[in-house]
Homo-oligomer: A and B are copies of this chain.
Amino acid sequence: MGQKGEETRGRLLDATRDLIETGGYFGTGLNQVVAASGAPRGSLYFHFPGGKDQLVAESVRRAGREIGEVLHALAETAPDAAGLVTGVIRLLGDRLEESGWRKGCPVATVALETAATSDPLHRACSDVYGSWEEALRLRLAADGHPEPDDTAATVLALVEGALLLARAHRSRDPLDRVTRRIAALL
């Protein structure tokens, strides 16, 4: 495989991740991916023989892993569950605003577009959300929360919904409002 090969592969995944976050699965063309990554067209199909689906699925999983790591790090350092959640929202809000309302949740758009059509992509998105929810659940359970399962799902839904609304309105307002009311759930 070689070092150069791995690097090209990584550049393709990073470029894909950036582009799908803004435009989703159908809104991102492989021409854009090739142009943004600097890799030649054929390399894409060498590294991802499964084509666009494989490329996007791996990008989704990679993005999910990255955010998952941030989540775990915050879960270690935050004083309580409320601090964890508000910390995540602030971090994601900063990223969203700095990117000009382009970068919200890297999974959401693809998840909605492919929910009913593509099995491998649907599975990738489902797995990522599952892992995030599990991270939340663990911290809630460790804190002795009475309903860790339902609350983890609810908090994840709340954060995803707030990110969606923030992008739709191009404003941090929904994130701020949700932050102010989150304590009622925890």
A residues 55-92 with Cβ under 8 Å of B?
none
Q: Which residues of A contact B (CB under 8 A)?
A: 22-27, 100-102, 104, 107-109, 111-113, 115-117, 122, 125-126, 129-130, 147, 149-151, 153-154, 156-162, 164-165, 167-170, 173-174, 177-178, 180-182, 184-185
Give A119 Cβ to nearest chain B Cβ, in Å: 10
Bound complex: CA A174 to CA B115 (Å): 15
Bound complex: CA A100 to CA B130 (Å): 20
Given that A24-B113, A26-B26 are contacting pairs, would A157 and B185 also be in contact in the complex, using a CB cutoff of 8 Å?
Answer: no
Do residues B129 and A149 form an inter-chain contact, with CB atoms below 8 A?
A: no
Bound complex: CA A26 to CA B102 (Å): 16
Given that A27-B25, A149-B177 are contacting pairs, would A112 and B108 also be in contact in the complex, using a CB cutoff of 8 Å?
Answer: yes
Given that A24-B113, A112-B109, A164-B164 are contacting pairs, would A154 and B177 also be in contact in the complex, using a CB cutoff of 8 Å?
Answer: yes
Bound complex: CA A145 to CA B26 (Å): 42
How many identical subunits does the complex contain?
2
A173: which B residues are within 8 A, CB to CB? Answer: 153
Do residues B157 and A113 form an inter-chain contact, with CB atoms below 8 A?
A: no
A104: which B residues are within 8 A, CB to CB? Answer: 112, 115
Bound complex: CA A112 to CA B102 (Å): 9
Bound complex: CA A153 to CA B165 (Å): 9
A22: which B residues are within 8 A, CB to CB? Answer: 116-117
Task: Choose among B129, B154, B168 the residue that contacts A181 (Cβ–Cβ < 8 A).
Answer: B154
Task: Choose among B122, B125, B156, B182 the residue that contacts A161 (Cβ–Cβ < 8 A).
Answer: B156
